[in-house]
A and B are shown apart, each in its own frame.
Chain A
Amino acid sequence: MSSLIPLVEKEVKDLLRDPRIYIGLIVPVVIMPIIGFTMSAATHSSIESAVGGGVKVAVLDLDKTQTSLSFLKFANTTGLKVFEVKVDTVKEALKELKGNDAKILIVIPKGFESKISSLEGSTVALYFEVKSVGFGEMSAFLAVDRVVKLYSKTLSDTIISSIKPGINPTVVRTPLNTTSYTVIHDRILSMPPEAVFGQLFMGYGIMVPVVLMIVSIMVAQIAATATAVENEEKTLETLLTLPVSRYEILIAKVIGSTVVAVLGTLFSMLGFALYFRILFPLQEISGSAHLGTTALPAPTPQMYLALCLSLLIAIFFTTSLGVIVGALSSDVRISNSLIGAVIIPIMIPAFLIMYGDVRSLPLALQALVYALPVSYPMIIAKNMILSELPVEAVYGIPYSAGVTLLLLLLTSRLLVPEKLLLLQHKILTRRMRRKGQVSEK
């Protein structure tokens, strides 16, 4: 295996210096933060223009009582720019919006004060005129809605206190509360299950499939392109006459492609991380709940090992497929058009696992899912915080290793020009026939 080092060096250097590869590696790191920054800036400016300096709100007060006036005063103190329209109907009031550069109309109905006083409850109507689509529009509406709800709470506090002085109004409003706990491995966590699922989903449900997807497609694409280029440049012909085994040539290609694909994945993940980092303050502005980072029970080392092992096997499996596609392609264009058709269908069962229950699938589909090595990282990721390796993975990892080894052996057997030339010619002829350009050969 002493020839493996120069062969791997050749693969890695040739790939990393290829502009098609290194530009592909750098692009996510540069583009994702730019997209994040642009989206963040655009959203901020949109919100700023909608709510900055106060949201302009028209009010049609059909009640004209002390309580309705008090509501208007309250709204003014919260930063809204409230102005009253002196008309009699909602239709006329909506027309007034246009002339006053406002989008929101609050209609206080007749009997507003009396219904509140008699504890019947009253309904304030909010009209929102859509003038464009964007974050800013919604933020303006939410700001007004919040003010109305806040005033409702203030009113309820006053009413409850007047009925029974000294009582806590909050207790009256919500007499029944819940505290949620999540139990994992007999360990009680003081956090609701949705928070746990949120963290797990982001961690293992999103990250593992995303990593697997990026690495698998990238590694297969790189291996296919590298091998097709060897065909195109006739370097494979030279390589196959050197005193090295076909297996060494294949392993070098698999290792080289994997190294570059892992680098590419790291760059992509860095790009995504920067993108989310830049967009993160936006979540706080829009008021979405930030899930705490309460520590979940850490997966066992065996689970990590199983996940890494299954990921590595899945990567080797897709790399071998890439080499096969590349070897069968007489040029890079053919390999690029074939690789997607091979890799994407293989990834579909893996996603079935992530978003559904494999055991509830029809038997044929279950067999397909369990037959592919790329399924096992998903199965393990889904069960990551459980103490024991799922039974499918216990048998699946050695099975995948066997399948991948077999595929590698078959691929190395394919690296014989006798077979390659024949298969390449068949593929080329079939493609030309499909395009209506029947080969003259």
Chain B
Amino acid sequence: MVKLFGSVRALDELSFQVEEGEVYGLIGPNGAGKTTTLRILATLLLPTKGVVKVFGFDVVSQASEVRQIIAYLAEEAGAYRNLTGYEYLSIIARIYFKSKRRAREAVDWAVEASSLGDRIQDKVKNYSKGMKSRLQVARVFMARPRLAILDEPTAGLDVIHANYIRRLIRDYVRKHGTTVILSSHNMLEVEYICNRVSLINRGRVVAEGSPKDLKTMWEASNLEEVFVKVVGV
């Protein structure tokens, strides 16, 4: 796909395919096109050129069908400050699930997954950044999406919260086989949870493969080294 913002070419014939049940990582520097790619997948932006399909549904002509099967987490996404964490989850669950019982079960699951305990009844404005992230990731998986799109899910978090979020994603995917596409600056994190990754630079995929294959191919000890070698900085 190609995405132009005026004269700026944000995505330059970027292309990739993700298999069902895979955790696919997009890694690259700021401005590489990671967020734009995820926003197009989440039906928020339109590609200037090219075709993007999610489980066979076109993100432009079948956007409402795509929204039925995805859940999206924007980078540093907030929740409604004056609602409690529980109310926020409950409102989102009632949008996804038409049955009251299923919505309640989903909320119960998300409360458990977020590990916020009694704080789930506090207003979101009283949450720390880490607590908000836990609530948001729980919200995403609560919807039982076929595809979870996570933009920098651990950005700006301390080690404890970042580790919790990583484990939550990995455990959920293992148990439910959900497909996940996430972006990250943190190459170690990507290595930890992704089956395959794309290294993106200036709107193009410059390398793709499993972390292990990429490291072998580029004779590097970690993905950071791979990236430096690929981009040549």
Residue numbers of A with Cβ under 8 A of B are 2-3, 5-7, 9-10, 13-15, 17-18, 229, 233-235, 237-238, 240-245, 417-418, 421
Contacts and interface: CB of A to CB of B under 8 A. Distances in A.
Given A17-B123, A241-B67, A243-B64, A235 B87 contact: no
A235 B44 contact: no
A17 B92 CA distance: 19
B87 A5 contact: no
Contacts of B91: 6-7, 9-10
A6 B95 contact: yes
A2 B98 contact: yes
20 contacts: A3-B95, A6-B92, A6-B94, A7-B91, A7-B95, A13-B83, A14-B82, A17-B83, A229-B81, A234-B74, A234-B76, A234-B77, A235-B80, A237-B74, A238-B72, A238-B77, A241-B67, A417-B44, A418-B45, A421-B45
Interface string B78-107: 111111000100111011101000000000
Nearest to B43: A241
B111 interface: no
A238 B149 CA distance: 11
B46 interface: yes
A70 to B, nearest CB: 76
Nearest to B139: A238
Contacts of A18: 81-82
Contacts of B39: 417
B42 interface: yes
Secondary structure of the A side of the interface?
Answer: helix
A243 B45 contact: no
Nearest to A237: B74
B68 interface: yes
Given A3-B95, A5-B94, A235 B79 contact: yes
B214 interface: no
A152 B217 CA distance: 117
B70 interface: yes
A60 to B, nearest CB: 72
Contacts of B79: 233, 235
Contact of B68 (A235, A240, A243): A243
B96 A242 contact: yes
B82 A241 contact: no
A13 B44 contact: no
Given A241-B70, A417-B44, A233 B92 contact: no
A371 B66 CA distance: 40
B80 A240 contact: no
A238 B72 CA distance: 7
B80 A14 contact: yes
Interface size class of B (residues with CB under 8 A): 20 to 34
A13 B78 contact: no
A15 B82 CA distance: 8
A6 B70 CA distance: 19
Nearest to B6: A422
Contacts of A5: 94
Contacts of B76: 234
Nearest to B90: A6
Nearest to B82: A17
Contacts of A421: 45
Contacts of A238: 72-74, 77
Given A13-B87, A241-B42, A234 B94 contact: no
B70 A245 contact: no
Contact of B46 (A13, A234, A237, A418): A418
A242 B67 contact: yes
A52 B98 CA distance: 73
A415 to B, nearest CB: 11
A233 B77 CA distance: 7
B81 A14 contact: yes
Contacts of A3: 94-95
A241 B143 CA distance: 12
Contacts of A243: 64, 67-68, 95-96
B39 to A, nearest CB: 7
Contacts of A417: 39, 44-45
A331 to B, nearest CB: 13
A6 B45 CA distance: 26
Contact of A14 (B44, B74, B83, B98): B83
B8 to A, nearest CB: 9
A421 B98 CA distance: 32
Nearest to B71: A241
A6 B92 CA distance: 8
Contacts of B82: 13-15, 17-18
Given A3-B95, A242-B96, A418-B46, A237 B87 contact: no
B182 to A, nearest CB: 15
Given A3-B95, A17-B123, A235-B80, 19 more contacts: A7-B95, A9-B91, A13-B82, A17-B82, A233-B79, A234-B75, A234-B76, A234-B77, A237-B77, A238-B73, A238-B77, A240-B43, A240-B44, A241-B42, A241-B43, A241-B70, A243-B67, A417-B39, A418-B45
B1 to A, nearest CB: 14
Contacts of B45: 417-418, 421
Q: Top 3 A-B pairs ranked by shortest CB distance?
A: A233-B78, A17-B82, A241-B72
A117 to B, nearest CB: 83
A116 B75 CA distance: 95
